[in-house]
Chain A
Amino acid sequence: MTYSYYPGCTLKTKAKDLDIYARRSAKALGIELEEIEEWQCCGGVYPLATDEIASKLSSVRALNEAKEKEQDLVTMCSACHHVIKRVNDDMANVEDIQTRANNYMELDTPYKGETKVYHFLEVLRDKVGFDKIKEKVVNPLKGRKIGAYYGCLLLRPSKVMGFDNAENPSIMEDFIRALGATPVVYPFRNECCGGYISLKEEKRTVEMVTKIVESAKGAEAEGLITACPLCLYNLNKNNSKADMPVYYFTELLAEALGVKEEVEA
């Protein structure tokens, strides 16, 4: 199982853990993640204006590189996944964007959305299988009550993302279960954490995050997992009571697979 891997910029700086634990876990599971060579920042947000082309090109470059290597493209960060998946959808289905992006790119063969894009969680679910992961768990996270925090970008719009049921997702709960922990389902796990607005509107972010954390606490969660560095930052910084640990999903995976220590060593 070899994939092209798009880590994204935050995974090289503030969110190194998300990346490192993922690589260690992937290795333990027999998944090879080949970092694509000259990836550029995805831009963090998908430009909704249909006449935006330049801001989509970095995604197209990554997608095309995977295509040339005849590999599927794997992402780790929710935001990168959202941007690349949607740009890929445009390249496959929106003729105008396809034409104009290819005019910029001047590739030998135009890129038309051929690459399949998977979030690492999808690889774990659909390619490896949660059953298989369960078998490979050496440190089952027994007795730990973990809530999945999905946020927005992995799920919506579901028509394009095709990740899971956007209103009642279950992939991360199944993931938590595979690691031996107990998933905690709470109703606000797909509500927005505030995203980039936390920069200037701290009060709002605190309100939004508190609502999410209180909801998780009400369902007796002892910790949350996320796939997004910005979600993690907001959940940590803006939880008024600072009483809910938040982990990257890859950290728990590495822990359960017994490869976390190697990293710390």
Chain B
Amino acid sequence: MIQDDIKKISGVNPYKCMKCGKCSASCPSFNEMDIKPHQFVSYVLNDDIDALLKSESIKQCLSCFACVERCPRDVKPGNLIDTVRQMVVRKRGAELLSPEEVTQLLDPELPQQLLVSAFRRYRR
């Protein structure tokens, strides 16, 4: 079951969450996320994975680890989000970022660290 895969691959046990919301209180991308970090955990718990796979949140998470750092129950919501993102990008044909659009976005100062990171997060 995909829910079990997510739990296994992310190493996150959503049952540890006590729904305090400190992840969402810490998240710099909160306003851009359709499914908020604390909701991400309960969506996995409730096996509503389709919504997560389609969510804008997986694109908006910056992997800044503020949620991981501050969670009082050691749930690691950031790991969960990245795992779902990985499941999306691993699907053949699924693209959160295409090389074609990148050429439009380049500027002379842009460090390749940015491109490497973005492609790692957004593409297989």
Interface residues of A (CB under 8 A from B): 8-10, 13-15, 41, 43-52, 55, 77, 79, 152, 155-158, 166-167, 191-192, 194-201, 204, 208, 228-230, 232-233, 236-237
A155: which B residues are within 8 A, CB to CB? 69
**Could you say which of B11, B64, B120 contacts A152, with CB atoms under 8 Å apart?**
B64
Q: Is the interface of A mostly helix, strand, loop or mixed?
A: loop
Ordered by A's residue number, 26 sampled pairs between the chains whose C-beta atoms are within 8 Å are A10-B111, A13-B111, A43-B117, A44-B116, A48-B82, A48-B83, A49-B82, A49-B83, A51-B8, A79-B113, A156-B66, A156-B69, A157-B65, A167-B69, A192-B64, A194-B62, A195-B114, A196-B121, A199-B115, A200-B97, A201-B32, A208-B28, A229-B111, A229-B113, A230-B111, A236-B109
A47: which B residues are within 8 A, CB to CB? 82, 86, 120
**Could you say which of A50, A79, A237 contacts B109, with CB atoms under 8 Å apart?**
A237
Nearest 3 A/B pairs, CB to CB = A44-B117, A156-B65, A48-B82
A158: which B residues are within 8 A, CB to CB? 69
Q: Are B116 and A41 in contact (CB under 8 A)?
A: yes
**Could you say which of A46, A52, A152, A233 contacts B86, with CB atoms under 8 Å apart?**
A52
Look across to chain B and name the residue whose beta carbon is closest to the beta carbon of A208.
Answer: B28
Look across to chain B and name the residue whose beta carbon is closest to the beta carbon of A234.
Answer: B114
1/0 per position for B61-82, CB-CB distance to A under 8 A?
0111110110000000011001
Give the size of the chain B interface in residues (CB under 8 angstroms). 37
Given A45-B121, A152-B66, answer yes or no on A14-B9 (Cβ-Cβ < 8 Å): no
B120: which A residues are within 8 A, CB to CB? 43-45, 47, 55
CA distance A166 to B26 in the complex (A): 13
CB distance from B66 to the nearest CB of A (A): 7
